[in-house]
A and B are shown apart, each in its own frame.
Chain A
Amino acid sequence: MPSGFLSSDDCRALIRKLATFAHGGGTVSVTLKSAMRNTTSWARSTIHENLQSRITHYQLWRAMPELGMGTVDGTRLDDAGLREVMRNAEMQIRLSYRTASEPTDDAVIPPAPMLHPVIWSDATYAVSPDAIVQIAQEMVTPAAAAGLWSAGTFSVTGRGESVQTIDVDAMTPPELHYVPQTEVECSVTVRDKQGTASGWAGVNHYALDKINPHDIAARALDKCRRSANPSTIEPGRYTVILEPQATHDLVWQLMTSREALWRPPAESGQGPFASSRRGRSKIGERVLDERLTLSSDPLDPDGGFIPISMAWGGIPYRAVTWIERGYLRQLAYDKQYALGALNRDHALLNPMSYRLAAAPGVATQTIDEMIATTARGIVVTRFSDVQVVDGNSMLCEGFTRDGLWLVEHGKVTKSLRNFRFMESPIFVLNNVQGVGVSQRVFEPGYGCVAPAIRAIDFNFVGLADAV
C-alpha cells in the first residue's frame, strides 16, 4: 500500500469524519485526490531543483433532502478545516432554491461498473529521490559532453483518487472507489549555446520500465544536432510529416475544447461537429479520414487513465469510440443532458486521454517510410503555443518547435527555421496520406496515444524567429 499520500483506508476515514460534521440528513459525497511527487529539474545542463511535494485536495458534494446541493472544495484535513468545509456547503444549500425530491417506486439504475486499469507500478513508486537525481544526471551528461545545453524535468508521482457517498443518517460505509496511479514524466530540450538549434523529446507513462530516459535524452540531442544552421523557405502549404507529438499537439485541441467533442454545443450549432441540420450533431457522418479511429479507454495498455472523473463528482469513465474509421460515433455529454435529451441515466464524459490510431486493417508506415515516399515536405517534431482561433472549424494557430526539416525527393535535406501555422486538426486529419503506429506522447496527467501522420496542404503562414 502506498505511503506518502493517502491510502484507501486514510480516504475512508477522512470522508467518514467529514460526514460526521453534517447536519440535517441527506448525503455526503466526496471526491478526494492525494499525491506525492518527486521532481528533478535542470537547466543549462545543471540540476537546480530536487523537489518533493504532497498535495491533497477534495471536493464535497452535500445534498440535503428537499433543500438542494452545495459543493465546496477543500485542502485542510484537520477537524476545524473539515468542519468549515461542511458548514460552507450547508450554507450554500440554505442560500439556494429548494429542489424537489421524494422517494419513487422506480428502480434505481445502478452506476456503470468501475473499471480497473493497470496504472500503478510498485517498482516505479519505489524509485527514490536519489535515483531520480541519478537518472536526471545521466540524461544531462551526453548533452553537456557535446558542449550543448540540456534542460528538462524528470519526475515520479504517486497519487490516489477516491470517491465515496455516505448517507448521513445511516452513516453506512458503502464501497469506496479508490484508484492509485503512478506517473513518470520525462521531458528534455537540448539547445546549442548560440541559441540556433534545438531538439526535444519527452513522454509520460505510468511505469518507469515503459520509457527509456537515456533514449529520450539521446533523441533530443540528435534533433538538436540535426537542426543546426536552419535554412529559410517560404511559408505556404506543404506536405507535412507530423511526428506523434506534433499530431498530439493538434489533436489535444480537439480533445480539450469545450465545443468539439461535446454533444450539447454541437446540437446547438457550435463547434466542428455541429450539423447543418438544426438541432443535430454530425453523429453518423464522416468527419475524418476513414483510416483513423479516435477512442478513449481507461484500460488502454498505453493510454490508460484513472477511470473516475474528479471534476464531475466521481462519475466513472468508460471506454468509448468517438470516431470510428472517420465516422463520428459519439460525443460527450453530462448527466443533465443524458437525462433530458437522451432519457439515459449515465453521463458519457470526455476524459481527454485518448488513442488516435490507424483503424484495424489499415497499413501503417514508419516515419522513415513516409519520408522516403515524399517528394517535398516538412518533418515536424512538435508544435508550441497552439491556440484555437475559431471554435467552429477548430482553426488553430501556433508555432513549430525543436526540430523542423525539409524533405526533398525522399530524403531529409536540411533543417528549417520555425514557422507559424494556421491550421485545423479537422482539416489535417482529413488530408491524411499515411499513418504510423500510435505511441504514447507527452501530456502530463493524461494518457495520450497518437501516430505519426503524413498530411498534405498544411498551412504555414509565416516565419518564426524563435528557435
Chain B
Amino acid sequence: MRFDRWTVTVAVASCLVGSSRTAFAQTVPSTARDSAHELDAADPRYPATIPYTSFERYAVPEECASAAIWYTERSRYTVDTDTLYLGRTGRPLLQSTIEQVRSCLSRFTVESVPQRELLGLGAAYLAANQDSLAAAAFARLDQLLASAPMLDRAWARYQMVSRYLSAVLPRVEAADRVLQSLDQLGPSAAVARLHGHLAMAQLAQCRDSVTLWDRETRAALALVRQMPHDVTRDYISQAFESYVLRTRWFARQNAPDSAAAVIADAKRLLVPLQPIMMGKVQLLSTWIAMQGKPAAPVKATRWYNVTSSADTIHPASGRVSVVMFGAPHCYRCRPGYAVLRRLRAAYGASLDLVMAAQTVGYFGERLVSPDSESRLIAHYFLDQLTLPVHLAVWNTPMGRRDDDHVTVLAAPNRDAYPMPPSEDWVAVVVDRDGFVRLATEVTASNEVLLDDVIRETIAAPRDSSRRLAATVSKGDSALTMTWARQVITAGAAIDSILAAHADDPALSLPVKTTVAQRLVYVLSITPDFKATLKRLGLTPDRFTEGYRRLHAAWYAKRLDEFLRQQGRTLLEMQQSGDVEHVSPEDRKFMDEHDEELTTLGIGKLMS
C-alpha cells in the first residue's frame, strides 16, 4: 500500500476548516462571543443552499466531500471576501450540502471500494456526519493491513488521525484513540507517531486547548529527541515544527524564558543536522524577543481616529492594547482585519486596537507624496475597511543608495517592535502595565488563542509590584526610563539651539542635522555627562543611538517643513540628492563654524 506524504499538511489546515468543543477543549469558558463567531446558516447574507453542479462526475468518494467543501468555501468567500474565518465552534456544512454528500456517497460502500479509497471514503463519511461508517472504513483499512509491514500500518493510522482532525468538524476523541493505538506500535513507528502528535498539537494550538497542546508537544519533542539523527535530518521540518509549537505554548503561558530555552535546544539539535535551520531558529526567536519587555510607544507622523492629542500615546498606560502592523498592500493581513472587528465587538471599550502603518512612497499603482499616502492609508483602513482602530501613520523618510535603490532612513515602530521580516500581520498584545504579553500572527487559526489571551489580560489587575520586580530583575527598565528622559531633555535643548538659528540662511537642513549629531556626540563625551551615563549604566554609544532614534522624528518633522517651504516633493529632493548629500558650500560652512556652534551648544546644555 502506498500513501502520499502530502497528507501531512492536511492537519495543519484543519483549524481553518473548523473546530468543536470536546472534552479536550481548553478550560477557558465559552463566552457570548461564540454566537457572534458563528457565521454559518444563521447569517442572512449567506445562501440557504448552494447551487452545485452535479456530483455525478466525481469518481472517488473523497471527491464527494472535497467538492462540497470547496463549493461551500467559495460561496462564503463570494459573500465576505475579507475572511474565511470559521469561528471558535466551527462552521459546519449546510444541511442541504450534507445531503448532497450523502447522495454522492450512496454509490460507494465500505466493503466495495478498493483499499486505496478507504481513507477518502472515511473522510467523506466524516463530512456527511456519518461517523460510524467512517470508523468502519478505517477499521477495514486497519484489517486489510494487518499483515502489512509495521511502517505501513503506522503510516495508515497516522492518515486516519489526520482525516479525523482535518474534518470540517474535527473528531478529536476519535483521533486520540487512533493516536494511542499508533503509539502502541513503539519506537520503530516514531516518524508516523511524530506526524500524528504534531497534527494533534496544531489543532490544540488553534483551539487554544493548553492542556492538549502541552501534552502533544511534549510527546512530539520526546519523539524528536529519541529519533536517530539520520531520521531527524530526513524529517527536520517536522522536528522543527515540534519546537515551534512547544515555543508557542510557553509564549502562550507567558513564560518567555522557557520558550527561549526550547529555542536554544532546537538550535543545539537541529542546526548541526542542517545549517540552514539557523535562519528559521533565529526567526522563531524574534517572536518571543518582545515578550515580557516594556512596549515602546507607537510613533506616528499623524494619528487618525483619535479623540484628542492625549489619545495619541499608545499603548496607553492602564489599558490593554493590541498593536497591529498593517499595510494596504499586505494581502496576508486581510483575514486578520476581520479578526480585529470581532475583537472590537467582543471587548468594546475595554480594549485599545492600534494599527501602525507607514508610508512607502506609493499607493496602489501610483507614486504619491507622503501626506497623500498617509491620507490614502487612513481612507483605506478607516473608510473602506471600517476597521475600529486608532491608526498611526509614520511618514517614512527615504534615502537612496548608490544603485538608486531606496532605503528607509527611520522606521521607529519597526525598530521598537522587532518582528520577522514582512510579517505585517503580527499583533502585539500589551498589558495594563505596558509590558508585551504576546506577539502572534493575526490569522483565523490564531484567533481563539488571541481572544483567550486578551480576555485573560483584561481580567488581570494592574500589578505595580510586577513592574518593580521586572525592573529589579532586568536591572535596567527604570534606568531606561531615566535615560530616555535625559535624552529627551538633551534633545529638546539641542532643538532649541537649532530653532534659535532657524532663520539663519546659512544654516541649511543638512548643516543643522550634522550639527545636531555633533552636539550629541560632544555632549556624550563631556565629563559631567559621562558621569551621568555611567551612573545610569549606559555607554556613550548607547546614548547616541537612543538620541539618533529620537532625532529621526525631529528630522522627519523638519524635513516636512523644509519641503513645504521649498514647494518640492520628497521624490524631487531625493533625485536631486539634496536629502542625503551635503553641498560643498554647506561643508565649508560647517568647517568654519564648527567650534563656535559646538561651544554654544555645550554652554547652553550645561547651563
Question: What is the interface of chain A, defined by CB distance below 8 A to chain B?
Answer: 66, 94-102, 104-106, 108-109, 267, 279-281, 283-284, 335, 339-345
Contacts and interface: CB of A to CB of B under 8 A. Distances in A.
A345 to B, nearest CB: 5
B47 to A, nearest CB: 15
A425 to B, nearest CB: 23
A100 B364 contact: yes
Contact of A342 (B372, B380, B402, B404): B404
Contacts, number: 79
B369 A66 contact: no
Interface in B367-385: 367-369, 372, 375-377, 379-380, 384-385
Q: Closest 9 A-B residue pairs measured CB to CB?
A: A100-B380, A339-B362, A343-B361, A104-B372, A100-B328, A106-B368, A283-B403, A102-B379, A343-B406
B52 interface: no
A100 B406 contact: no
A100 B327 CA distance: 11
Given A102-B376, A104-B376, A343-B361, A280 B403 contact: yes
A100 B376 CA distance: 8
B372 A106 contact: yes
B81 A98 contact: yes
B360 interface: yes
Given A100-B363, A281-B403, A343-B406, A105 B331 contact: no
Size class of the contact patch on chain B: 35 or more
Given A97-B82, A104-B368, A109-B367, 20 more contacts: A94-B81, A95-B78, A96-B81, A97-B81, A97-B334, A98-B385, A99-B364, A101-B364, A102-B376, A102-B379, A106-B368, A106-B369, A106-B372, A339-B361, A340-B360, A340-B361, A340-B362, A342-B404, A343-B362, A344-B367
B366 A98 contact: no
A394 to B, nearest CB: 21
A343 B398 contact: yes
Contacts of A341: 405-406
A106 B334 contact: no
Nearest to B401: A280
Nearest to A267: B405
A342 B376 contact: no
Given A97-B81, A343-B571, A106 B379 contact: no
A94 B406 contact: no
Contacts of B401: 280
Contacts of A343: 361-362, 367, 398, 406, 571, 574
B278 to A, nearest CB: 15
A98 B82 CA distance: 8
Interface in B430-487: none
B302 to A, nearest CB: 16
Contacts of B529: none
B415 interface: no
Interface of B: 74, 77-78, 81-82, 328, 331, 334, 360-369, 372, 375-377, 379-380, 384-385, 398, 401-406, 571, 574
Contacts of B360: 340
11 contacts: A99-B364, A100-B364, A101-B364, A104-B375, A104-B376, A281-B403, A339-B367, A340-B360, A340-B361, A343-B574, A345-B367
A340 B367 CA distance: 9
B365 A339 contact: yes
Nearest to A66: B384
A283 B401 CA distance: 12
A108 B367 CA distance: 8
B389 to A, nearest CB: 15
B367 A106 contact: yes
A342 B74 CA distance: 38
Given A106-B372, A108-B366, A95 B81 contact: yes
A342 B376 CA distance: 20
A411 B171 CA distance: 81
Nearest to B569: A106
Nearest to A109: B367
A304 B277 CA distance: 49
Contacts of B375: 102, 104
A48 B377 CA distance: 63
Contacts of A105: 372
A211 to B, nearest CB: 40
A329 to B, nearest CB: 10
Contacts of A340: 360-362
B403 A284 contact: yes
Contacts of B376: 100, 102, 104
B402 A284 contact: yes
